[in-house]
Amino acid sequence: MWGTLQAKNLLFDGAYETGKLKTKMKRFSQSLKENVRQSTPGKSYTTALMKETFVEVLIEQDIDHYQTKFEADDTVAFIAQQLSCPVLSSDSDFFIYANVRTIPFGTINFKKRQQKSSKKVGEENSGKKLSTHVLEGKCITLQKMCEEEFHLSDYRLLPLTAVVIGNDQISNSVFSNFMSKKNADTGKGKHLRIDYLVKWFSKQKSYDAALETLLVTIQSSEREKMRKLIGDIVLSYMGAAGEDDVWIIVKSSNNLQKFLEEHIPEKVLIEEISQNEKHEVLHDGLCEKLEELNIQEKEDSNPEDDTENEEEDALDDDSECDSEHSCPIKLDVPSWFLESLYKCKFPTPVCKILYNRTIYLTPQVEVTNMPSS
């Protein structure tokens, strides 16, 4: 893969985003359970030092790699938009970012295939056609999914669907009244809910009309806060939440500059892009709003929720992660430290300790009948 791709930029996650600690605790618990079942034949596991080893390989291969302060998805999408390059990932979240071409990792064949072009070379080689090498893969965009697959009138409706299904910031129980009124069978499984919601959104005239229909199903006192929160989340899928500082570091890379000089028009190289000039800061006040919404959500929760909802929110009541540390801490960090952080000079736990005051030690499978490494 490394030898095939001409220009590679890898981004690692940093600290946990607002509301992510609860999800992390759930995955941490699942990881422990998987380790207990480690004797199952055919099971594979990642080692505790996997990332550190991977970074060493990237350094040896002179492959550009960076780390964001928080979750990398928004910044990956933002940088992909600026460079007009695809995102290679196994994470389906990238499918619903606007103006981002996503190549699912499992669909690409890294063996080059020769393809003859219709263009012909100069007179000295008259009659010969140009030969290029291509990689076969599948490319997914939000625009094509909305227009060809789901027949949605507005690109924002697909991110809105993801919000209603539930994410780390808004639980699916917030719109339980909407789901129960529209279709009583949607509680049988997540895939049925997704299928129903996409069909319902395809019948809506506009994003605003769909949002208003959703908001009237929750308490009136919470509607404006929820409207703002949903707007921030959907806006992030439009490419408004990437970390500018990381982009500045990325585009200053010698490897990237060399590639851009050979393949991209000059104006892209000198253009200064600042999302702060186009969008307001998204996360100001999010912590306060989330805490209020979580309190209200617990008061309105239905004890007869379906089994899947119970599993998804199993840690809501007894987890200590939904405390004062569930929101990233705002710090005045020296620029030299941030630059080193962005360039992966510090391990990821440093970032999590700094911004979350929380760190989870990775469970490690131990084979007791083998000698110590």
Do 287 and 307 belong together in one domain?
yes
- Name the more confident of 48 and 126: 48
Tokens of 209: 């009309």
The rounded distance, in Å, linking the Cα atoms of 45 and 42 is 10
* Residue 56 located in a structural domain: yes
Kindly state the percentage of the chain with pLDDT values over 70: 68
* Residue 303 located in a structural domain: yes
Cβ atoms of residues 184 and 127 within 8 Å? no
* Residue 367 located in a structural domain: no
* Residue 268 located in a structural domain: yes
Quickly tell me which residue has 């000039």 as its tokens. 277
Q: Which of 120, 139, 158 is the last residue of a domain?
A: 139
pLDDT score of 291: 47
- The range of the structural domain enclosing residue 128 comes to 104-139
pLDDT score of 101: 93
- Name the more confident of 228 and 49: 228
Q: How many domains does the chain have?
A: 2
CA angle, residues 356, 360, 363, in degrees to nearest 5: 165
Do 134 and 164 belong together in one domain?
no
Q: Above 50 in pLDDT, residue 30? A: yes
Confidence band for 359, pLDDT divided at 50, 70 and 90: confident
Do 129 and 231 belong together in one domain?
no
pLDDT score of 328: 57
The rounded distance, in Å, linking the Cα atoms of 31 and 363 is 7
Do 233 and 278 belong together in one domain?
yes
Do 309 and 174 belong together in one domain?
yes
The rounded distance, in Å, linking the Cα atoms of 143 and 101 is 10
**Highest mean pLDDT pick, 34-43, 54-63, 193-202:** 54-63
Do 322 and 192 belong together in one domain?
yes
Q: Which of 77, 112, 139 is the last residue of a domain?
A: 139
Q: What three-state secondary structure class fits 51? A: helix
Residue 66 CB partners (closer than 8 Å, separation 6+): 9, 10, 11, 12, 246, 249, 250, 342, 343, 344
* Residue 2 located in a structural domain: no
* Residue 4 located in a structural domain: no
CA angle, residues 56, 62, 64, in degrees to nearest 5: 90
Do 210 and 225 belong together in one domain?
yes
Quickly tell me which residue has 């060809």 as its tokens. 148
Confidence band for 194, pLDDT divided at 50, 70 and 90: confident
The rounded distance, in Å, linking the Cα atoms of 281 and 245 is 14
Do 177 and 95 belong together in one domain?
yes
Q: How does the average pLDDT of the chain come out, rounded?
A: 75
Do 131 and 260 belong together in one domain?
no
The rounded distance, in Å, linking the Cα atoms of 298 and 34 is 30
Q: Above 80 in pLDDT, residue 61? A: yes
* Residue 373 located in a structural domain: no
- Least confident residue range of 78-87, 101-110, 147-156, 319-328: 319-328
* Residue 371 located in a structural domain: no
Do 260 and 283 belong together in one domain?
yes
Confidence band for 299, pLDDT divided at 50, 70 and 90: very low
Do 133 and 149 belong together in one domain?
no
Tokens of 183: 């279709």
Q: Above 60 in pLDDT, residue 334? A: yes
pLDDT score of 187: 52
pLDDT score of 97: 94
Do 148 and 247 belong together in one domain?
yes
